[in-house]
Chain A
Amino acid sequence: MNSETFDDLKKLFKGEPADLIPVLQKIQAEEGYLAPESVRSVSRWLRMSENEIYGVATFFAQFRFTRPGEHVLKVCLGTACHVRGGEQILDVLKRRLEVDPGGVTADGRFQLERVACLGCCALAPVLSVDDKIYGQSSVLKIQEMLDGGLHHDRT
Chain B
Amino acid sequence: MTGLESRRQEAKKIWRELQESPRPVVYVGAGSCGLAAGAAEVIGAVEGYLKKTGQKADILRVGCIGPCYLEPLVDVQMPGRPRISYSNMTPGLVKGVLESFFEKGEVYKGRLVGHFGANGAMEFPRFFDHPMLASQTRIVLRNCGIIDPENIDHYLARDGYTGFERCLSLPWNEVLEEVKKSGLRGRGGAGFPTWRKWLVGRETENDKKFLICNADEGDPGAFMNRSLIEGDPHALLEGMLIAAYTLGAAEGYVYIRAEYPLAIARLRHALKSMREAGLLGEKILGSDFGFDIRIKEGAGAFVCGEETALIASVEGKRGMPRTRPPFPAVSGLWGRPTVINNVETLATLPHIIRNGSEWYSQFGTETSKGTKTFSLVGKVRRTGLIEVPLGMTLRQVIYDIGGGLVKDFKAVQTGGPSGGCLSEEFLDVPIDYENLAAAGSIMGSGGLIVLDKNTCIVDTAKYFLNFTQAESCGKCVPCRVGTRHLVGILERISRGRGEVADLKRLEELGRTIKGGSLCGLGQTAPNPVLTALKFFRSEFLAHIKDRRCPAAVCRDLVTYRIVKEKCTGCQRCVQVCPTGAITGPRSEPHNLDMTKCIKCRSCYEVCRFDAIAGDAIVIES
Given A60-B300, A83-B451, A133-B32, decide whether A120 and B600 contact each other with a Cβ distance below 8 A: no
Among A22, A138, A139, point to the contact of B296 (Cβ < 8 A).
Answer: A22
Stretch of B33-41, B113-121, B488-496 with 4 or more beta carbons under 8 angstroms from chain A = B33-41
Stretch of B153-161, B378-386, B585-593 with 4 or more beta carbons under 8 angstroms from chain A = B378-386
Alpha-carbon gap, A88 to B302, bound state (A): 24
The answer to whether A122 touches B68 (Cβ under 8 A) is: yes
The answer to whether A95 touches B578 (Cβ under 8 A) is: yes
> Interface readout for A86-103 with B: 1 if CB under 8 Å, 0 if not?
001001100110000000
Residues of chain A contacted by B36 (CB below 8 angstroms): 118, 120, 123, 126, 133-135
Residues of chain A contacted by B296 (CB below 8 angstroms): 21-22
Among B41, B223, B451, point to the contact of A119 (Cβ < 8 A).
Answer: B223
The answer to whether A25 touches B449 (Cβ under 8 A) is: no
Nearest CB of chain B from residue A22's CB, rounded to whole Å: 7
Residues of chain A contacted by B379 (CB below 8 angstroms): 83-84
The answer to whether B605 touches A139 (Cβ under 8 A) is: yes
Nearest CB of chain B from residue A113's CB, rounded to whole Å: 11
Residues of chain B contacted by A25 (CB below 8 angstroms): 258, 297, 299
The answer to whether B600 touches A79 (Cβ under 8 A) is: no
Among A83, A115, A119, point to the contact of B449 (Cβ < 8 A).
Answer: A83
Nearest CB of chain B from residue A131's CB, rounded to whole Å: 7
B3 at the interface (CB under 8 A from A): no
Nearest CB of chain B from residue A155's CB, rounded to whole Å: 11
Interface residues in B290-306 by Cβ distance below 8 A to A read: 296-297, 299-302
> Interface readout for B450-485 with A: 1 if CB under 8 Å, 0 if not?
010001000010011001000101000000000000
Alpha-carbon gap, A63 to B318, bound state (A): 13
> Interface readout for A122-142 with B: 1 if CB under 8 Å, 0 if not?
111010000101111011100
B413 at the interface (CB under 8 A from A): yes
The answer to whether B605 touches A140 (Cβ under 8 A) is: yes
B325 at the interface (CB under 8 A from A): no
The answer to whether B259 touches A18 (Cβ under 8 A) is: no
For B413, give the chain A residue with the smallest CB separation: A79
Alpha-carbon gap, A116 to B514, bound state (A): 23
Stretch of B309-317, B393-401, B539-547 with 4 or more beta carbons under 8 angstroms from chain A = B309-317
The answer to whether B600 touches A139 (Cβ under 8 A) is: yes
A117 at the interface (CB under 8 A from B): yes
Alpha-carbon gap, A122 to B41, bound state (A): 19
B222 at the interface (CB under 8 A from A): yes
Nearest CB of chain B from residue A100's CB, rounded to whole Å: 15
Most buried by B among A60, A117, A131, A154: A117
> Interface readout for B375-414 with A: 1 if CB under 8 Å, 0 if not?
1111100011100000000000000000000000000010
Residues of chain A contacted by B259 (CB below 8 angstroms): 115, 117-119
Dominant secondary structure of chain B at its interface with chain A: mixed
For B302, give the chain A residue with the smallest CB separation: A116
Nearest CB of chain A from residue B469's CB, rounded to whole Å: 13
> Interface readout for A65-98 with B: 1 if CB under 8 Å, 0 if not?
0000000000001111111110010011001100
The answer to whether B316 touches A18 (Cβ under 8 A) is: yes
For B474, give the chain A residue with the smallest CB separation: A59
For A25, give the chain B residue with the smallest CB separation: B297
Residues of chain A contacted by B69 (CB below 8 angstroms): 122-123
> Interface readout for A24-60 with B: 1 if CB under 8 Å, 0 if not?
1100000000000000000000000000000110011
For B38, give the chain A residue with the smallest CB separation: A154
Interface residues on B, range: 35 or more
Among B33, B297, B416, B602, point to the contact of A122 (Cβ < 8 A).
Answer: B33
> Interface readout for B262-303 with A: 1 if CB under 8 Å, 0 if not?
000000000000000000000000000000000011011110
The answer to whether B319 touches A60 (Cβ under 8 A) is: yes
Nearest CB of chain B from residue A43's CB, rounded to whole Å: 13
Nearest CB of chain A from residue B611's CB, rounded to whole Å: 11
Among A20, A115, A131, point to the contact of B316 (Cβ < 8 A).
Answer: A20
The answer to whether B32 touches A83 (Cβ under 8 A) is: no
The answer to whether B602 touches A143 (Cβ under 8 A) is: yes
Alpha-carbon gap, A78 to B222, bound state (A): 9
Nearest CB of chain A from residue B616's CB, rounded to whole Å: 16
For A24, give the chain B residue with the smallest CB separation: B299
A9 at the interface (CB under 8 A from B): no
Alpha-carbon gap, A122 to B601, bound state (A): 22
Most buried by A among B220, B226, B605: B220
Interface residues in B86-131 by Cβ distance below 8 A to A read: none
Alpha-carbon gap, A60 to B379, bound state (A): 32
Nearest CB of chain A from residue B35's CB, rounded to whole Å: 6
Residues of chain A contacted by B606 (CB below 8 angstroms): 140
A121 at the interface (CB under 8 A from B): yes
Some 6 contacts from A to B, beta carbons below 8 A apart, are: A79-B219, A79-B221, A80-B449, A88-B602, A117-B219, A120-B36
